[in-house]
A and B are shown apart, each in its own frame.
Chain A
Amino acid sequence: MERQSVSIAGSGRLAGGEYAHVRISGSGRVEGDVVAQEIRVSGAGKFHGNVKAKEIEVSGAGKFAGRVEADTLETSGSCGIEGDADVKEFRSSGAQRVGGSLRGHYVRVSGILSVARDVEADVFTSSGKFEIGGLLSADRVEVKLVGDSRAREIGGENIDIRASSGFNFGFSLTRGLRLGFGIGTLAVSEIEGDSVHIEATTADVVRGKTVHIGPGCRIGRVEYAESLDVHAEAEVKERVKQ
């Protein structure tokens, strides 16, 4: 049976079920669980059940009360997911909130990402702002700090956190931080990786094989196995070679 496509342009309700395409450009409510090829929300859409789709695009306001599973999810508007999100490729240039955990291969943040629990991916890149209540874990964590980001823990193979001072070190980063020049920062309690490069980061503990502590960092304790560099404009209370 050919699956139906539906489009809500004014205001409407839709029952759950299987669809080819679901488009909401007005204001729409979807009552039950939905399986679809493609879901596009450019108006205001609220999904009351669990959602499974190949592609989801939210450029308006999307709310998902359950769990979301998708190959790709792109948010350029505002998107809230109450449950867990299992998304292979995740891109957010808008505002994205996840009430559970976010799992995927590739997570790219250029807007705002807030996740109550863990973020697990092969690659996590951010040039936006993120707040992660649990563990951020990826093979590659690449962050260009914009605004103040937070995570409880970060763990993985390569961890690279760069400050994004427009002055690009011609100007003292620490002075910039002190004066509050819109330089992004990261606060995290623990970082663990094989290769760790961090800037403008406050952490209780950093553990790694090769560790580079860049300008603007304030670290309680660094445990390293092979090498440790600490920038002159960084503060490290305790250094331990394993």
Chain B
Amino acid sequence: MDEDLIAKKDVLEQAGISYGQLYRWKRKGLIPEAWFIRKATVTGQETFFPKEKILSRIAQIQSLKEEQSLDELVQVLAPEAAPEAMSWDSPATLPPIGADGRKLLWKESGYTFAELVALASGVHALRSGARPAEAKLLVDLLRTEEAVLRTPTGVTALLGEKTLEQEGFSVRLTLGVLGREPLKLDRESRVKHRTDLEKIAEQVKLALRGVA
């Protein structure tokens, strides 16, 4: 997937931050190494970032740092700092899951962080038009992938669709795929829904914080 990139100096200008802040946040792990993309330009090497990700991360840091120290922020935002041992009993109270998520639940209580991310991914699919069975497929695919969901930088889950025609019958198949970008499907399949897991994990973390 080709993301929109933004040059470092434009990040500083648009977000109104200094080099010192940017480097400090990088050191603390608030901005993942993987977002620093070095490219050759006419004026030499320059660093670019995935535009949407970096600007929304900076906005979050700026809005949260009033209340907490950088080290606490790391716990919330850094992708590698997923809540260790937690168990949540009412997923529907979290906005990224909400009432839409009720039909995707598979147990009464005791949802782990990874399971919450799986649920939120399912809800994300539902909200963008997937059928419940398809959302369920996605949740089933993700919920056991604890390790992947804890460090979701660059990981995508998608629903692919393929139509098979045979002797006048037409069968439509949906499949769930989990992997790191760039993901590719064959030419006859199409991507029906795509989820950036890092973003979903971040939403879940923020929601957990909001409720706590």
- Which 3 pairs, one residue from A and one from B, show the smallest C-beta to C-beta distance? A157-B20, A155-B23, A120-B27
Contact of B27 among A137, A158, A208 (CB under 8 A): A137
Binary contact track B110-150/A, C-beta < 8 Å → 1, others 0: 00000000000000000000000000000000000000000
Closest B residue by C-beta to A196? B19
The answer for the CA separation of A175 and B24 in the assembled complex, in Å, is 38
Binary contact track A186-197/B, C-beta < 8 Å → 1, others 0: 000110111000
- Scan residues 185-235 of chain A and give those whose CB is less than 8 A from a CB of chain B: 189-190, 192-194, 204-205, 207-209, 220-221, 223
Residues of chain A with a CB closer than 8 A to B9's CB: 207, 223, 242
The answer for the CA separation of A4 and B88 in the assembled complex, in Å, is 43
B45 at the interface (CB under 8 A from A): yes
B7 CB to closest chain A CB (Å) equals 11
The answer for the CA separation of A242 and B9 in the assembled complex, in Å, is 9
The answer for the CA separation of A242 and B14 in the assembled complex, in Å, is 13
Q: Please judge, given known A-B contacts A221-B44, A242-B9, whether A193 and B27 are in contact too, CB under 8 Å.
A: no
Q: How many residues of A contact B (CB 8 A)?
A: 23
The answer for the CA separation of A207 and B8 in the assembled complex, in Å, is 11
B99 CB to closest chain A CB (Å) equals 44
Helix, strand, loop or mixed for chain B's interface? helix
Binary contact track B7-25/A, C-beta < 8 Å → 1, others 0: 0110001000011101110
The answer for the CA separation of A242 and B45 in the assembled complex, in Å, is 17
Binary contact track A88-126/B, C-beta < 8 Å → 1, others 0: 000000000000000100000000000000001000000
Closest A residue by C-beta to B9? A242
The answer for the CA separation of A120 and B45 in the assembled complex, in Å, is 21
> Is the CB–CB distance between B44 and A194 below 8 Å?
no
A62 at the interface (CB under 8 A from B): no
A75 CB to closest chain B CB (Å) equals 23
Contact of A204 among B8, B13, B27, B44 (CB under 8 A): B44
> Is the CB–CB distance between A194 and B19 below 8 Å?
yes
A33 at the interface (CB under 8 A from B): no
The answer for the CA separation of A158 and B44 in the assembled complex, in Å, is 23
> Is the CB–CB distance between A157 and B44 below 8 Å?
no
Interchain Cβ contacts under 8 Å between A and B, 13 examples: A137-B27, A138-B23, A139-B20, A139-B24, A155-B23, A156-B20, A157-B24, A158-B20, A193-B19, A194-B19, A205-B44, A220-B44, A242-B13
Helix, strand, loop or mixed for chain A's interface? strand
> Is the CB–CB distance between A157 and B26 below 8 Å?
no
Residues of chain B with a CB closer than 8 A to A220's CB: 44
The answer for the CA separation of A188 and B64 in the assembled complex, in Å, is 35
> Is the CB–CB distance between B23 and A156 below 8 Å?
yes
B63 at the interface (CB under 8 A from A): no
Closest B residue by C-beta to A205? B44
Residues of chain B with a CB closer than 8 A to A156's CB: 19-20, 23-24
B30 CB to closest chain A CB (Å) equals 13
B81 CB to closest chain A CB (Å) equals 16
B43 at the interface (CB under 8 A from A): yes
> Is the CB–CB distance between B19 and A208 below 8 Å?
yes
Residues of chain B with a CB closer than 8 A to A193's CB: 19-20
The answer for the CA separation of A120 and B26 in the assembled complex, in Å, is 10
The answer for the CA separation of A189 and B46 in the assembled complex, in Å, is 11
Contacts A156-B20, A192-B8 aside, 4 further interface pairs with beta carbons under 8 A come to A103-B27, A139-B23, A155-B23, A209-B18
Residues of chain A with a CB closer than 8 A to B24's CB: 139, 156-157
A215 CB to closest chain B CB (Å) equals 24
Q: Please judge, given known A-B contacts A223-B9, A242-B9, whether A157 and B19 are in contact too, CB under 8 Å.
A: yes
Residue from the set B8, B18, B23, B24 with the largest chain A CB neighbour count within 10 Å:
B23
> Is the CB–CB distance between B27 and A194 below 8 Å?
no
The answer for the CA separation of A120 and B44 in the assembled complex, in Å, is 24
The answer for the CA separation of A194 and B12 in the assembled complex, in Å, is 11
Residues of chain B with a CB closer than 8 A to A209's CB: 18-19
Residues of chain B with a CB closer than 8 A to A190's CB: 45
Contact of A221 among B22, B26, B43 (CB under 8 A): B43
